[in-house]
Structure 1
């Protein structure tokens, strides 16, 4: 995939850190965090990541566990999570290599508060959609279970493409 974003490609002996971000940190981003962690473990690249976490741009649910539908979708796919919601902090821009937003609204919010001294590549997670469309991971909170099913399929696909592009490795389809 040709890129207009300058991706950070770590050397083979470097670890990288990834932070997933949505609005309240109870649906999409904790699902992405858990699915990403599971994906890199299954692909054999877990040792390439020093930290995988998630947060929200808003503090509505700080300290809460993920939405029960997120937990159920993860469980249905053999994945567990013990995440507690948190709000993005200024230090995240310095402590993470990538901050991946679920949608353009949260991306705008992240860009607005991003300090000039931050090192993180702040971008849409959907940049790694594999189709050059920059897909949005829609908020499923007010909908039915189908939104959570669609979100899960997206975050697994994006996770594989992220590993493929950032680590510059071959990943089986």
Structure 2
């Protein structure tokens, strides 16, 4: 009985990791590039000990400014895996999610030109463990993204969202 339970738990971990990778692959290319940028910055922190994978999106917004220029805002969760940072196997599906670590809540906003993230204005990436995220931080994220000097005369990045989002 204990063996069966262990097998079921392992299968559920691999399945949830696979589902998350499917969610990542369903993102459009510009959103995947933003997630990759956030993961790159997260992995540069020495305090991070585990490999993280995209878990799910909570909010997505974009503005087509014309002339092949777009602006993106993406709020999403990253989840720790059982793989340690730097020892990731070639197949990320083999890194099952850990359920004993909090999610990391990330918000990122950036400009693309021709599908590539531009360095000016500098992309904004803010990631924090979900339990530590405050309403003030959430407001600061939105304010920061709305005040970036993207394109005079265009609506702010988050103005396309309806009330209650």
TM range (shorter): under 0.3
Q: Taking CA–CA contacts closer than 8 Å with sequence separation of 6 or more, which of the two structures ends up with the larger relative contact order?
A: 1
Question: Which of these two proteins has the greater Rg computed from alpha carbons?
Answer: 2
TM-score (norm 1): 0.27
Determine which structure has the larger strand proportion and give its number: 2
